[in-house]
Structure 1
Amino acid sequence: MSDQSHKLNRILVTNDDGIDAPGLKVLEQVAAQLAHEVWVVAPRSDQSGTSHSISLHAPLRISAHGDKRFAVTGTPGDCVVMGVQHLLKDGRPDLILSGFNRGANMGMETVFSGTVGAAMTGMLLGIRSIGLSQAYSDQANVPWHNAQTHAPKVIRDLLAMDWPNDACLNVNFPDCPPEAIRPLKVTRQGLGPLNNVSVRTEVDPRGFEYHWIKLNNGREFDEPGTEMGDLMAGHITVTPLQFERTHLATYNDAAE
């Protein structure tokens, strides 16, 4: 796909970490290798944890941040909708890429993830969509090089799969030395590392309480064959996701 004639026409890039996030800049560079046009529509501020929510009760504002780069005062889902249905209404993108998120998105985390939520919104609009995340162990030294180096081939390989319209893809890049990265592996979703949700209460200088909600990671192992174990083993992982969340065991028991 290095031949210009084999490039996609348009890619829409978004994220949940905000328009100035380092992972977004890396993904823009990757997208430029894959498409003639790269449009960036990202949240003005960090929107981590907003899932695929969209703003139905507040107006949205768009500001330009360079050529084909826009910030939206809303969620990642808002960015996808505004990008596809407003900014690119003259020609829909061939692909939506969301990321690179700072930190892996696995298991139950994907329910909260704005990175995955943007891909879910793209899927809702009928556009092939991929959420991409880079795992790290040191927040000050995220190994962006892993994602930047391997993502172009990974995305090309995934596009060749021609996956169905009712699925989006969740890709995670491992936190390991570049030479230790293992090939792309298709995985299924497990529980992931998310282990609890807690509330921390503090008191501001005026004596009023305020609260922080925190997602707590504590699980070190998951079921065999799920994304967590393969990612920890150094594989780049891809998990197909869908909206369908019916708990089949309960449904079947109740239907009998």
Structure 2
Amino acid sequence: MSLRILITNDDGVDAPGIAIMADIAHALSDDVWIVAPDGNQSGAGHRFTLGREMQFDRLSERTFSVIGGSPADCVVVGMTHILGDRPADVVLSGVNAGQNLGDIINCSGTAAGAREGALQGAIGIAMSQGINYEHGRDVDWANAVRHGVATARSIIAVAEGRDHYYNVNFPFCPPDDTAGIAVVPHQRFSRSPFRYYPSDNEGKFFVAIPETPMPLDPAADFEVMRQKSYVTVTPMRLQQTDTGLVERLQGRLSL
């Protein structure tokens, strides 16, 4: 029986990256489904649309668009309703236009799609194509196209249980210059990278990332992808409790 694969993203069901992810999935299985937001949900994180009615449109036999839904909404709808009694074995989220590295994964809708997939019992894999922002915001998808299938297949082959999800970033170098796959931790920044950013319009502002907090760990995802041209894979735990701190604090807190 083929792997059942569910695809979502946070750039919207019509985004070019989701078409690339569909090609990746079809190279792995003939049982591929897409449930994605109808529009851009970048930065939505693991938000659920609670207390408000939603609906989805069926765009083709196996492609659905959730109106106003987040990536997490889409995975829930796909895994618990659209796919019926056989939920997906693998949830692929992306391919995102731009890297999701370091602490940015905490707000990433792409990462949340894979995380919810893992929480629902699947192997969750988030994929993002890096951009060299020093040269503009154009996306060159060549690395994801070349290396996406092998990367996904490698992760699926070694995935242990359903207690993790996997965050993948493709470098922005030419595909022939890619150094390989590096399994690395995510970069913990010295502070949140998000800041108030003034607008040119009086009285208006943005929340944005005006600069990358320094210093950066040369062994973490941010620099390994950008400076060393590896496809980075970061296994992320669903159990977020610091068990060591639990042990150290036992008996030390009181009312």
Counterpart contact for 2:142–2:174, Cα < 8 Å: no
Q: In the TM superposition, what is the alpha-carbon distance from 1:202 to its structure 2 partner?
A: 6.7
Question: Would you say 1:107 and 2:89 are equivalent positions?
Answer: no
Deviations 1:22-72 (A, max 9, x none): 111111111111111211100011111111121111111101222311110
Letter in 1 for 2:149: P
Equivalenced residue count is 246
Question: Would you say 1:180 and 2:177 are equivalent positions?
Answer: yes
Question: Would you say 1:66 and 2:64 are equivalent positions?
Answer: no
What secondary structure, in the 3-state scheme, does the structure 1 residue paired with 2:148 have? helix
**For residue 119 of structure 1, what is the aligned residue in structure 2?**
114
Matches within 5 A, 1:161-200: 161-191=158-188, 195-200=193-198
Matches within 5 A, 1:88-237: 88-137=83-132, 138-139=135-136, 141-191=138-188, 195-200=193-198, 211-219=205-213, 222-232=216-226, 233-237=228-232
Task: Give, in whole Å, the separation in 2 of the partners of 1:220 and 1:143.
Answer: 27
Alignment RMSD, CA only? 2.3
Q: In the TM superposition, what is the alpha-carbon distance from 1:160 to its structure 2 partner?
A: 1.1
Task: Give, in whole Å, the separation in 1 of the partners of 2:198 and 2:66.
Answer: 29
Q: In the TM superposition, what is the alpha-carbon distance from 1:163 to its structure 2 partner?
A: 2.1
Question: Would you say 1:21 and 2:21 are equivalent positions?
Answer: no
2:42 to 40, 44, 48: 48
Letter in 1 for 2:182: K
Letter in 1 for 2:139: V
Counterpart contact for 2:127–2:168, Cα < 8 Å: yes
Counterpart contact for 1:146–1:178, Cα < 8 Å: yes
Q: In the TM superposition, what is the alpha-carbon distance from 1:216 to its structure 2 partner?
A: 3.4
Task: Give, in whole Å, the separation in 2 of the partners of 1:63 and 1:27.
Answer: 20
Task: Give, in whole Å, the separation in 2 of the partners of 1:216 and 1:246.
Answer: 31
Question: Would you say 1:30 and 2:24 are equivalent positions?
Answer: yes
Counterpart contact for 1:17–1:45, Cα < 8 Å: yes
* TM-score scaled by length of structure 2: 0.88
Q: In the TM superposition, what is the alpha-carbon distance from 1:143 to its structure 2 partner?
A: 1.7
Letter in 1 for 2:97: R
Task: Give, in whole Å, the separation in 2 of the partners of 1:221 and 1:211.
Answer: 27
Counterpart contact for 2:128–2:170, Cα < 8 Å: yes
Letter in 2 for 1:115: T
**For residue 79 of structure 1, what is the aligned residue in structure 2?**
74
Task: Give, in whole Å, the separation in 2 of the partners of 1:154 and 1:188.
Answer: 17
Higher strand share: 1
Identity of aligned residues (%): 31
Counterpart contact for 1:19–1:45, Cα < 8 Å: yes
Task: Give, in whole Å, the separation in 1 of the partners of 2:74 and 2:136.
Answer: 26
